Amino acid sequence: MSNLLKLSKLIVSRLLTSLLTLLGITVLSFVLGQLAPGDLAYSIAGQDPTASPSDEEIAAIRTELGLDKPISIQYINWLKDLLGGKLGTSFMSNKTISSELRLRIPVTINLSLLALLFLIVFSLPLGFLQAVYKDSLFDKVFLFLSSIFSATPSFLLGIFFIIIFAQNLRWFATSGYQNFKSLILPALTISLSSIMMIARILRNDLIENFNENYFLMSRAKGFRYTFAAFKHALPNAMVTLFSLWSNYLLMVLGGSTIAENVFALPGLGQWILKSINAHDYPAVQAYVLIMGVFCVVIYFISDILMLFIQPKLRKGV
């Protein structure tokens, strides 16, 4: 009961820290909007290129949007709108940002989760087998491939996959988003180099664990090398893996721009690139906020999972 109480207190502490971080992200996102060059009221009033807005029209819009109020009041009102799901209107499409996000977030999340699935399914057994069969031909081949793929830009991989699997073999569509199958090539494009890299990290971590006393003791008890590695060494390496996987998921969520542009996917990455080029500051502001929320949520879940997986992290709490 005492350990359960300590664990509950730790989880509550992490939750409070995450909530404070979310509050800080809202402040950062709001300040970003305030520091953006130009006048929001003038931009809205001047959407008609054939007419020049008058000072009275601009002043009326500023009053309507509450831009004539103190910054603190503007932040509170903005936060209220945010909690109500109102993120403003995109200058680029003249649609509400909420509607844009509803269309694009599912694409990026599905792409990111599929890439993470590929990462886990391939990097875990690959790194484990490389460690168990250290210095074998299998190990040397994948170490060589790891160096190759780590140095290859992801957009080149994407073009290569399109040429081979889409244009020649015609297994997949060359671009666009029709169904879940459309995400396979983009997910492979953004995950392949990371699969090799994380497998290599796992290999080195396991090899270090093979020299620890607990592993040598399990071998002395008569356990097979592979079983001892799976039963005792691999769980100790899972904390590192969980940290790497969570960081990778964040990287894909925030950095899927290249894959989404190469494969013409209507996700967040393609949308934010167009928004930046169009100086669509409300969209950029919303993107910063959404990605900040993703970061906090993913790190919180990762921290809690690691507490359950690795009891050593709970000691001293």
Tens of pLDDT along the chain (317 residues) come to: 566 677 677 778 888 888 888 888 888 888 877 776 666 666 666 555 666 666 677 677 777 666 677 778 878 887 888 887 777 777 767 788 888 888 888 888 888 889 889 999 999 999 989 988 888 998 899 889 888 887 788 778 888 888 888 888 888 877 777 778 888 888 888 888 888 888 899 898 888 888 777 777 877 777 787 877 887 778 778 777 887 888 888 777 776 777 888 888 888 888 888 887 777 777 888 888 888 888 888 888 877 777 776 656 555 44
Rounded Cα distance, 167 and 263, in Å? 13
Neighbours of 99 (CB within 10 A): 13
Inter-residue contact 87 to 97 (CB < 8 Å): yes
Contact residues for 133 (Cβ-Cβ < 8 A; gap 6+): 139
| pLDDT tens profile 195-234 | 888 889 989 888 888 877 777 787 777 778 787 788 777 8
User: What phi and psi, each to the nearest 5 degrees, are found at residue 89?
Assistant: -120, 140
Residue 89 in 3-state DSSP? strand
Instruction: Confirm whether pTM is higher than 0.85.
Output: no
β-bridge mates for residue 17, sequence order: none
What pLDDT does residue 314 have? 53
Rounded Cα distance, 166 and 188, in Å? 13
Domains of the chain: 41-86 (no CATH), 97-314 (1.10.3720.10)
Report which of 95, 75, 97 is spatially closest to residue 86, judged by C-alpha positions: 97
Alpha-carbon dihedral 234, 239, 242, 248, rounded to 10 degrees: -110
Alpha-carbon dihedral 287, 290, 295, 297, rounded to 10 degrees: -170
Q: What is the DSSP string of 149-211?
A: HHTS-HHHHHHHHIIIIIIIS--S-SSS-SSGGGGHHHHHHHHHHHHHHHHHHHHHHHHHHTT
Rounded Cα distance, 304 and 292, in Å? 19
What pLDDT does residue 126 have? 92
